[in-house]
Structure 1
Amino acid sequence: MGGMLMHGEQWRGEDPTGWLISEKLNGVRAFWDGYILHSRNGDVISIAQEVSQLFPQGVCLDGELWIGDGFGQLCSILRQTTPQIMERSELWKKVRYCVFDAPMHPGNYVERHAFASNSFIPGNNICMIPFVQCLGHSHLQASLKDISHKKGEGLMLYHPTAKYTHGRTNHLLKVKAYSEEDVK
């Protein structure tokens, strides 16, 4: 599954003008195949039945399971929700599936985002990650500073006319206040 998903590269200072900015969430990447939720490695993610009923049938979505700054709590919930114990809905009250793409839709990123947004009714457990058009380097840096002050992980830059591609692509860029090498 990981090779089937689109993965971003590190932003290296390219001009971001016209690209789309969204928050980079610190959660668990998850792919909804239209019927079942999968991890980036392809493992089935068991979710509470009343949560899965909110997801669109037959529509593939790419997103992130997220609980704000509660990454450890999210991992605990995922470990506790097994196919045998799917009625653990109280555990899922804070978990959100934050959608950022519809990979099987043939359009460009803006079209796929709109298609995904129209495929479900947003609620407590499922939402779209919003984006804004980047006005330039200073806008990107101000957005990154704002996210960093809110304890966010960073930003994602999407090329608005890019098609969905599998694997690493330079049409999706990760922007962080620190480099990933700094934390290793």
Structure 2
Amino acid sequence: MKENDTEISTLLMHGQVWNFQDPTGWYISEKLDGYRAFWDGSKLYSKNGTLFPIPLDFTHSFPSNICLDGELWAGYDVNNLNSIIRKTASKLESPQNLEELWKDVKFCVFDAPMHPGHYQERHQFASSSISGCNPNICMVPIEPCLGLDHLQSKLNEITKKQGEGIMLYSPSAKYTSGRTKNLLKVKAYIEEDVKFVK
């Protein structure tokens, strides 16, 4: 089994920080605070190309021969996921304990890197690809941004849940390796920060 794939680190798309430009028409999704993960169609890797130490049955229903970009996530306390990964990597846990540890972990998919389309097409393709899979793989919901007020409203919702922020996807851009202006990170700015640019 291949434990490292350095090509993954150069393949993945990474966002830039939002600089308060008009977000209207871009796609909004919640920025999850977990571990970036890449499904290559048979194995799940970290953003650095390291194979995740996960139970075999966690990915048994994942689609084969389809690449998916997403986040391993176990709720709004990332320390919980850190603990699960450490315990699994130690190889000291029984199968029963591993099943219990991983029952609330999900691979939350937000993109399909090898699909040639724009973001909505890639998201729809990924969603169709995981249809019928076990509930430990899911899609990160998206919606078109209607403007700064809408963006601020979504930030408020996420902040109340102790979330990290928002990702903005260009509606017309294709998947691009490396850091790109077509993917923007919006941290949970205070309300005055966003109102300032109106």
Aligned mates of 1:174, 1:129 — CA distance in 2: 15
Residues 57-72 of structure 1 correspond to what in structure 2 (within 5 A)?
57-72=64-79
Q: 2:141 aligns with which of 100, 124, 130?
A: 130
Q: Which amino acid aligns with 2:116?
A: P
The question of 1:174 aligning with 2:181 is answered: no
Q: Which amino acid aligns with 1:16?
A: P
**Counterpart contact for 1:46–1:83, Cα < 8 Å:** no
TM-score (ref. length: structure 2): 0.85
Partner of 1:56: 63
> CA 1:57/1:138 → structure 2, altered by over 3 Å: closer, same or farther?
same
For 1:61 and 1:83, locate their aligned partners in 2 and report how far apart those are by CA, in whole Å. 27
Residue 99 of structure 1 corresponds to: 109
> 3-state DSSP class of the match of 1:64?
strand
- 2:124 corresponds to which of 99, 104, 114: 114
User: 1:150 — aligned with what?
Assistant: 161
Q: Match for residue 51 of structure 2?
A: 44
- Separation in structure 1 between the aligned mates of residue 59 and residue 189 of structure 2, nearest angstrom: 35
1:76 aligns with 2:83: yes
Q: How many residue pairs are counted as aligned between the two chains?
A: 179
Whole-Å separation in 1 of the counterparts to 2:156 and 2:23: 16
State whether structure 2 residue 27 is matched by structure 1 residue 17.
no
* TM-score for both structures, normalised by structure 1: 0.91
Offset, 1:83: 9.3
Q: Which structure is larger by alpha-carbon Rg, 1 or 2?
A: 2
| Per-residue deviation, 1:90 | 1.9
CA distance in 1 between counterparts of 2:12 and 2:182 reads: 13
SS at match of 1:157: strand
Percent identity over the alignment is 56
Residues in 1 aligned to 2:189 and 2:171: alpha-carbon distance in whole angstroms = 25
Shift of 1:86: 8.7
Greater shift in the superposed pair: 82-91 or 56-65: 82-91
Q: 2:57 is aligned with what amino acid? A: E
Once the two structures are TM-superposed, the CA of residue 82 in structure 1 deviates from its matched residue by: 3.6
Q: Which letter maps to 1:26?
A: D
